[in-house]
Structure 1
Amino acid sequence: MNRNDNTTIQSDYGPIDEDDEESTPLLGPIQRGGNASFKSSVFNLINAIMGSGILGLSYAMANTGIVGFSILLLIVSSLAAYSIHLLLTLCDQTGVSSYEDLGDRAFGRFGKILVATTILIQNIGAMASYMFILKTEFPAVISGFLSPDHDRDVWYENGTILVILVAVCVVLPLAILPKIGFLGYTSSLAFFFMFFFAVVVVLKKWSIPCPLPVNGTLSLYEVSSNFSECTPKLFVFNSQGAYALPTMAFSFLCHTAVLPIYCELKRPTKKRMQNVANVSISLSFLLYLISALFGYLTFFDKVDSELLQGYDAYLPRDILVMLVRLAILLAVLLTVPLIHFPARKAVQMLLMGDRPFSWLSHTFITLLLLTIVLLLSIYVPDIRHVFGVVGSTTSTCLLFVFPGLFSLRMRPHPLLSVPAFGEVALVMIGVFVGLLSLCIIIVSWAQGS
């Protein structure tokens, strides 16, 4: 169709002028859209972005400084928004509705298989890691609400039984839903849990004195006389700072959920979905920054790599701390069905191509993926290390490398143009972050051994 013709086309939303690119729903599979509101789409994307990684950001700030951390967080969040912009632009131009189809348009069937396999590995690893966290942490949370002398040999403190129960009673009913838009309500609940975490971190800043108690408890109050420990640092340069960039990068990974959310957005346009992404990333950035800042200002250089462990040491059995630990676990639990959706879609595209929806295959793949995730979380003792290696490569590919490569391939620009420079920079940053993450994991293993 000639773009110079002022042709009017008919869509589900009435006649549309082709020249109005920003207000026009996509002409391909996304054209029909869905029933998901702007607000529920924002909550779904925030839920895809935020996870247990929020617990490690105060440690990242302690090793980069307040200003250094803020600059890095702003850069990474901007890159995440830019890579989403590239994906949406490509979808707008090609009319395709999935990350896998973009791979197909860019590099043929090989590209489609590569993207689908990457999404599958990344999301299975993420789901298994989250279920592993639930298996190890839920018993401790339940125990915290019970009396210290309660019977320890009970079923509700058995991590394996608990993770199977939550998988069957919570994850399966949510994961088997046919559309991701239905998860908007649970995603809003997960966002509330993360917001509650940030509020508690701010409040507890004034519950723990500085300098910190020498003996680790507030009941026997004996503080260090070294008040220099309570001076916040604006910039920090040390070897541990290398962990900050990968931690931040993975904290904004949501790209496998972007296009499924786009497909089900009511009145889907590139501008509308970009606004969903911008609002989601901005709110996540704000919660990340607030929780990291006040967590750091509570413990300073003694902040733990997992923030809540510090509160356990100085405020044992504090009701707010126990509630926020439970809230984080519930938020992680409600994230699993959202991650499951693109993983199942990747399997369906690999096995069945573009065949119409079938409840039989949909249910079978859902059960198969959930069974694999459960088995991994139960029987692989060091699953976070195993998928740390895989995640360092697949995550950076989905977040940085693929959007940049696909855009370079399908939207050829002069080499010295601004768009080409941005796309090349995105690919290079992805390769750098991936290699850095891989090196950090290998060094950690070597030090551990």
Structure 2
Amino acid sequence: MKQTLILLSFVSIFSLYSVHLLLKTANEGGSLLYEQLGHKAFGLVGKLAASGSITMQNIGAMSSYLFIVKYELPLVIQALMNIEDTTGLWYLNGDYLVLLVSLMPILPLSLLRNLGYLGYTSGLSLLCMMFFLIVVICKKFQIPCPMEVAFLINETMNGTLTQPTAFASDSTFNMTGDDSCRPRYFIFNSQTVYAVPILTFSFVCHPAILPIYEELKGRSRKRMMNVSKISFFAMFLMYLLAALFGYLTFYKNVESELLHTYSTVLGTDILLLIVRLAVLMAVVLTVPVVIFPIRSSVTHLLCSSKDFSWWRHSLITVSILAFTNLLVIFVPTIRDIFGFIGASAAAMLIFILPSAFYIKLVKKEPMKSIQKIGAMFFLFCGVVVMTGSMALIVLDWVHNAPGGGH
């Protein structure tokens, strides 16, 4: 638990500091485009680094959202239609459902030209995730400790107690020892190497910061920083509470996908079904917001001097969605994508690029100033995070077989 709190605190503070650097650089550099700042700072290399990092980061985010659709939507449909035998039913195939959802609600929203119109959908998706958090907190006080669950299972098998068969077999919960209901403050295993990249990945909003800053009414750097502080604090609190109460519900038996752990224990639960619907709505409404910076980056890289064209706008949008759908359909697990993109693109967008742009473009501050020294130290931290995380992930790939499932 302390491990999560420490990592969340550091990553959120570092991310907020990088937003400060980015906004100050945008004001000094005279551009509100991430790629343009890269071009002004380092020429074509800087522009390609910014564009490539933005594209990688957001395609990874889109893939994670569509992975949720792929694995959760069939379960929702199955529960709503009360279907037991799913053999041969195309509408319970996650790959088909991802394609259908991408074509119906996601594509029309993604074709919107301005980001401001998507503010309402973003607000709705945030409400859905807040509902998910509330349910996670409530379930902590409703689901007994795994040791007690084992007792209930044993009593059920002996016929002395009637419990839902959704309480899974003993193989689901590894409950040997007396500490299965005791929290561990620090946990280190083969999955720990993915913690920093995944947290870094989850706090990246930097490609959308400048477009939002551009459309902010009464635009000022101070006002945008206040918006960023509130947003980062809200996300920090939601991540922390979800992780804390999810862990305190299942302890060492918690799975990588928290919703799947609840399903294993509770089976068909109405409140859990509503949560699944809320999460699905949240991710579906978030995908168009994520597409915007990818499309903006690709457009600026390839057609920066040309006037707006609906044909080009639509073609880029469809191409992005098609490529992401192929990733979701053919890549078996999202964990390695999270780790790789978090260690590379996310580290670039949070640590390396904002500090490098700041050092290069903000001329009024000397190199020996506290601000420039802080930016150089931040750049050094980014290089350490990127190289260290990538090295540990590669070592994990070499020594451990990739995890299956979702």
Q: Same fold by TM (over 0.5)?
A: yes
Partners in 2 of 1:346 and 1:190 — Cα distance?
Answer: 24
CA contact (8 A) 2:56 2:345 kept: yes
CA contact (8 A) 2:204 2:350 kept: yes
CA contact (8 A) 2:295 2:317 kept: yes
Matched, 1:107 2:42: yes
Identical aligned residues as a percent:
43
CA contact (8 A) 1:193 1:330 kept: yes
Partners in 1 of 2:348 and 2:121 — Cα distance?
Answer: 28
SS at match of 1:214: helix
SS at match of 1:229: coil
Partners in 1 of 2:334 and 2:324 — Cα distance?
Answer: 11
SS at match of 2:150: coil
Q: Where does residue 170 of structure 1 map in the other structure?
A: 105
Q: Please, which runs of 5 or more residues in structure 2 have no aligned partner?
A: 154-162
Q: Where does residue 305 of structure 1 map in the other structure?
A: 256
Q: Where does residue 401 of structure 2 map in the other structure?
A: 448
User: 1:384, CA displacement in angstroms?
Assistant: 5.5
Partners in 1 of 2:277 and 2:388 — Cα distance?
Answer: 32
5 Å matches for 1:36-435?
Answer: 66-149=1-84, 152-212=87-147, 213-214=149-150, 219=164, 227-236=178-187, 240-381=191-332, 385=336, 388-411=339-362, 413=365, 417-435=369-387
User: 1:415, CA displacement in angstroms?
Assistant: 5.2
Partners in 2 of 1:309 and 1:383 — Cα distance?
Answer: 15
Partners in 1 of 2:104 and 2:242 — Cα distance?
Answer: 31
What's the TM-score, normalizing by structure 2?
0.86
**Cα 1:248–1:109 shift into 2, 3 Å:** same
Partners in 2 of 1:380 and 1:244 — Cα distance?
Answer: 21
**Cα deviation 1:112-167 (Å, max 9, x = unaligned):** 12211221233233323432332233212322333253554333212222112111
**Cα deviation 1:265-285 (Å, max 9, x = unaligned):** 112111111111111111111
User: 1:288, CA displacement in angstroms?
Assistant: 1.0
Question: Which piece of structure 1 moves more, 219-228 or 184-193?
Answer: 219-228
**Cα 1:129–1:231 shift into 2, 3 Å:** closer
CA contact (8 A) 2:200 2:342 kept: no
Question: Which piece of structure 1 moves more, 139-148 or 259-268?
Answer: 139-148
CA contact (8 A) 2:197 2:342 kept: no
CA contact (8 A) 1:139 1:158 kept: yes
Partners in 2 of 1:100 and 1:216 — Cα distance?
Answer: 58
User: 1:179, CA displacement in angstroms?
Assistant: 0.5
Partners in 2 of 1:112 and 1:392 — Cα distance?
Answer: 20
Alignment RMSD? 2.6
Counterpart amino acid of residue 137 in structure 1: E
Would you identify which runs of 4 or more consecutive aligned residues in structure 1 move more than 6 Å?
Answer: 220-225
CA contact (8 A) 1:211 1:226 kept: no
**Cα 1:240–1:366 shift into 2, 3 Å:** closer
Partners in 2 of 1:150 and 1:439 — Cα distance?
Answer: 45
User: 1:261, CA displacement in angstroms?
Assistant: 1.1
**Cα 1:139–1:436 shift into 2, 3 Å:** farther
Partners in 2 of 1:428 and 1:380 — Cα distance?
Answer: 33
Partners in 1 of 2:55 and 2:205 — Cα distance?
Answer: 14
Partners in 2 of 1:233 and 1:205 — Cα distance?
Answer: 17
